[in-house]
Structures are given as C-alpha cells and as structure tokens.
Amino acid sequence: MSTETPKPAWRNWLKIGLAIVVVAAATGYLLRNRVLGLPVEVYAARVSDLQQTVVASGRVMTPQRITVAAEETGRVNQIPVREGQRVTRGQLLIALDASDERASLAQSRASLGQEQAKLRQLREVDLPGATQDLLKAEADAAQADRQLIRVRDLKAQGFVGQAQLDDASRNRDVAASAVRSARLMVQTHRPSGSDAALASAAVAQARANAAMAQVRLDHDSILSPADGTLIARSVEVGDIVQAGKELMVLAADGETQIVVQVDEKNLGKLAVGQVALGSADAFPLQRFDAVVSYINPGIDAARGSVEIRLTVPKPPAYLRQDMTVSVDIATARRSQVLVVPVAAVRGIGAEKTWVMAVRDQYTVRVPIEVGLSGDSRVEITAGLTRADVVVPATAATVLIGQKVRSRVIASP
C-alpha cells in the first residue's frame, strides 16, 4: 500500500499558469516584432573627410653608427667619457699608454735636428770653404802657368836645363788637377750637388721618421670622429686592447630616422614624401611629425615586408636611439565624401561588395562601389546616399527582406 502524500492541486495550476504566461509573452514579442519590426542598431551614411593610413612599428636610428677602435695595440690609461654622453668631433675618448711612442718621437726629433745641422754646415761652412779652396787652386794654377812660360823662355836661351823645365811642367799639371778637384768639391756642396742632395735626403728621412713617430703617438689618443652620442662601450681602464677591436659605438649627429617594416600588400599605397604621425611606446600620448624618405626596392621574402625609412624633422627630446616607435603614415586623403563604417561593408575586397540597408522599414541588399578605405570607415562612390542607414555585418540574425525598427548608433 503506497504511503506517498498527494501534491496539492494548486501547485499544478500554478505551473500551468506560468507556462501560459511565458507562451503568451513570447507570442506577444514575436507578434510585436512581426507587426512593428525587429529592433536593430544601424549606422548612418554620412559625409566626412576620410584619411587612409598605413600603421607600422619600428625603431629609431641615426643615419650613421661609427665603431670606435684602436689602431695600435696598447694598455688603456684613461677613459674620460661615459656611455650615453654627448661628445664633439676631436674630443678624447680613450687614452692608451704612450711611453714608448713619446720616447721614439723624441729620438726621431733629435735625429732630425742632427741631420738639419749637417745640412746647414754643408751650406754655411763647407760650401764657402770649398769656394775659397777653388779660388786658391785657380791662383796657384795661374802662377804655375806663368812659371812654366818663364822656364821655357830661359831654356830656349840656355840659362836652365831640361830638368827645370820638366819640374815647371809638372807643377803646372799638379796645379791644374788641384783646380779640377776644388771645382768638383764646390759643385758637390752646392744645393744641386750630390753632397747637398744626400744631406737633404737625410733630413727628409729624419723628418719622415719623426712624423711616423708622431702618428704612432697620436694613435694612442683615440678621438671622436664626429659629433654625436656614445651608445655603447666595451672597454675599461687597464684593459689591453687590440688593433681593430670595437671599443665604443658612436651615434653620429644627423637626421633622426625611423626604420619600419610594412606589409608588402601596402607597397602600392606608399610614396616618398608622405607625412606620418609617430609615437614612442614609452610616451604613447606624445606625437611627432615624420616624413617618408626612403622605400627599399627589395622585399624581405621571409617576412613578406618592405623596409620604410621616415625622417623626423623636429625630433622630441625623449626620442632615443633604438627606441621602439609606431607610425601612422597618411597614404591618401579625401574631403567631404560619403562614408560608412567598415564594419557594415560585406565582401570588401571581393568582386561583389554590398551592404544591408534599411529602406521603408525593410532590409535590402544594396550593391556598392567603394573608394578609399580608412582605418574604420570606407568611402562609398556608388550605391548609397546620405539618407541611407546600414546594418552592421555582425548582426547575423537580421535577414534580407525582414521588417525592422532601426536605431542609429554612433559610427566607430
């Protein structure tokens, strides 16, 4: 025998009543939408200025980075600059130990002074002495000639013998030889002579040795090759550096540039001279002007992108080397054209582009022709008027030919 207590009848009636209310409400809602139309949010077509932009990100760079290295092997004695410091052309960056080079320079200069003294002695002492010797030799030769003539006359008269004539002739030959020797000595001591040439060559060699010693000494002082900012340093006092090894990196002053990679599909929109607005990731609310200055003719096949460089005419103070930045490049602009949100256009980029418009309370499919595309809006060149409203493409429950009650919302 069952002991289950029967449920009160009023509860069953309550359930039935609630079900009737729900069904009635749903039926009323459906009838209301059928009669008055389905409520739907729409965008209004409107006339506005439209700008097409290409957005990309990249980094700040200067036109030139200079690697600072030593030209000679040596020990670092001094580094009077720090990383991040601005430097000027010719400013000392690194000083190497130059003891050996200074000693070599002093020795070379002493040798140069010695050779120069020899050249002066040749010009001021040896040449005048040789000239005087030549004058004396010529006088002696003239005297020997006269003596030979007298002896010949005396021999013809029988006053002297052949031996005396031979002595006079020999004396004349010796005097003539002395004249030739003295003349050669004068010629060699003159500026065009061989001794003067050898002395001048010795001076030139000593001067070259001194210049080379000076160059080696100068190599121990590593100077800034240009105005700029030191952005890297990999050397400390006491290090022994090798010739050609990178010690510092200098970002030379010049036009500040931004290098970005743009998807190759946007290549046809880009042109040198287009203006852009940039912002650094670290300062997103501060914008600065830039201009497209270079478009790489090649494509990066691995990334499907093209390198673009933009010049920043007036870089803000916070803009630094290698800082990450974003740019909006204005590639085209239209004034006072009919636009609708991109979110309302269907099949954009395809052969048949259309929108779902609301006309006389019913949705209709309207083929359109589009022009310039912006970030959130697109230009309509045919198919719509300023009186039209369009349904967002995200309204999947709204069908063509359906009666609707539209409510215009703000365009994105």
Identify the pLDDT of residue 201: 86
Identify the pLDDT of residue 392: 92
DSSP string, 326-386: EEEEEEEEEEEEEEEEGGG-BSTTSSS-EEEEEETTEEEEEE-EEEEE-SSEEEEEES--T
**In sequence order, what are the beta bridge partners of 240?**
75
Tell me which fold the domain 65-97+220-251 belongs to.
OB fold (Dihydrolipoamide Acetyltransferase, E2P) (2.40.50)
Identify the pLDDT of residue 307: 93
Tens of pLDDT along the chain (412 residues) come to 445 555 566 566 666 667 666 665 555 554 545 555 788 999 999 999 988 888 999 999 866 778 889 888 899 999 999 988 889 999 999 999 988 888 988 898 898 888 888 878 878 787 788 788 878 888 888 888 888 888 888 878 878 888 887 888 888 888 888 888 878 887 887 777 787 788 888 888 988 988 888 888 888 899 998 888 888 888 899 999 898 899 898 888 778 889 999 999 888 889 999 999 999 988 988 999 999 999 999 898 888 899 999 999 888 888 887 889 999 998 888 899 999 999 999 987 777 899 999 998 899 999 999 988 887 899 999 999 999 999 998 888 888 999 998 888 887 7
pTM above 0.75, yes or no: no
Contact 371, 340 (CB under 8 A): no
Q: What distance in Å separates the CA atoms of residue 260 and residue 15, rounded to the nearest whole number? A: 68
Identify the pLDDT of residue 19: 65
Provide the sign of the torsion angle of the four alpha carbons 235, 238, 240, 244, taken in this order: positive
Q: Which residue has the tokens 């739907």?
A: 40
What H or E segment, with its residue span, contains residue 3? none
Identify the pLDDT of residue 1: 44
Q: What distance in Å separates the CA atoms of residue 91 and residue 77, rounded to the nearest whole number? A: 16
Contact 300, 261 (CB under 8 A): yes
Identify the pLDDT of residue 63: 63
Q: What distance in Å separates the CA atoms of residue 65 and residue 228, rounded to the nearest whole number? A: 9
Q: Which residue has the tokens 């980029």?
A: 349
Contact 234, 246 (CB under 8 A): yes
The pair of structure tokens assigned to 115 is: 């050779």
Identify the pLDDT of residue 13: 62
Tell me which fold the domain 53-62+252-333 belongs to.
Elongation Factor Tu (Ef-tu); domain 3 (2.40.30)
Instruction: Domain 37-51+335-408: state its class.
Output: mainly beta
